[in-house]
Amino acid sequence: MRRCVVIGGGGHAKVVIDAMRLQGRYKPVAVTDSDDLRKQDSVLGVPIVGNDNELKKLYSQGIKHFIVGLGSRRNNLTRKDLFDLARGYGFMPAMVVHPNALLATSATVGLGSLVLAGAIINPDARIGENVIINTGAIVEHDCVVGNHVHLCPGVRLSGSVEVGEGSLVSAGALVRQNLQIGDWVVIGMGAVVVKSVAPRSTVAGVPARRLRSERSR
């Protein structure tokens, strides 16, 4: 198995490590975490070796693969930054698919992405890099999901939905078919999206309505 570092040592890292072990392609051997007080701690038995400054040393020790083990916070900017940091050191992104996920043979999943238990990705769907398809999420036929997106547990994307880079679709949200979700959008928990969403917007509710625009990117 290929040795792999998990970047981020919170609760989501437990899910990443468990899926990795069940998949059997990668062996999690180290975790980095921004909280220096957690050094010498562990996540499901995998040692936290220090903060992200340890990545260069880990690469020199022959660990060549990584996956971002950080779940989303307010948005996915930190996950993107960690992904880019590791790539800059030369690491190759791992792609982890839980054995209880269902992927159509014509679906594609990018490097660094994570597909968790009960998730379904249907024909001709395209998933970008560093994407989380979380527990029980459904991506229907012909959807396009951009890099660094997080589809939280129970999300439902109907057919031919496009989700732009970095967007966060919170737990239980539903998106109608043929819609476009812009880059760096946040969709609230349980929202029902019936219209396309402009980039850098936050929407919530049933039906989903725009709350504000994000101007940081």
Task: For the chain, give every domain's residue range.
Answer: 2-94, 97-213
pLDDT at 74: 77
3-class secondary structure, 23: helix
How much is the pLDDT for 40?
82
CA distance 203 to 156: 16
Cis peptide before 207 (omega within 30 of 0): yes
Catalytic hit among 12, 65, 98, 141:
141
Handedness of CA 63, 64, 70, 75 (dihedral sign): positive
Q: Minimal CA–CA distance to 120: which of 97, 145, 137?
A: 137
Domain 2-94 listed as CATH 3.30.565.10: no
| pLDDT value for 195 | 98
Residue 175: CA atoms inside 13 Å, Cβ hemisphere, count? 35
Neighbours of 35 (CB within 10 A): 11
Please determine, looking at this structure, whether the domain spanning 97-213 carries the CATH number 2.160.10.10: yes
From residue 9, how far is each of 16, 67, 111, 171 by CA, in Å? 10, 11, 20, 21
Q: How much is the pLDDT for 36?
A: 84
Per-residue model confidence (pLDDT) at position 217 = 46
3-state secondary structure of 151: strand
What is the predicted pLDDT for the residue at 72?
76
> Which of 185, 156, 148 shows the shortest CA–CA distance to 173?
156
- The Cβ-side half-sphere exposure at 88, using a 13 Å CA radius, reads 9
> Residue 143: left (phi > 0), alpha (psi -120 to 50), or beta?
beta
Q: Which two tokens stand for residue 179?
A: 């819609």
pLDDT averages per 10-residue partition of the chain, 217 residues: 96 97 97 88 96 95 97 88 97 98 98 98 98 98 98 98 98 98 97 97 96 59
In the annotation, is 141 catalytic? yes
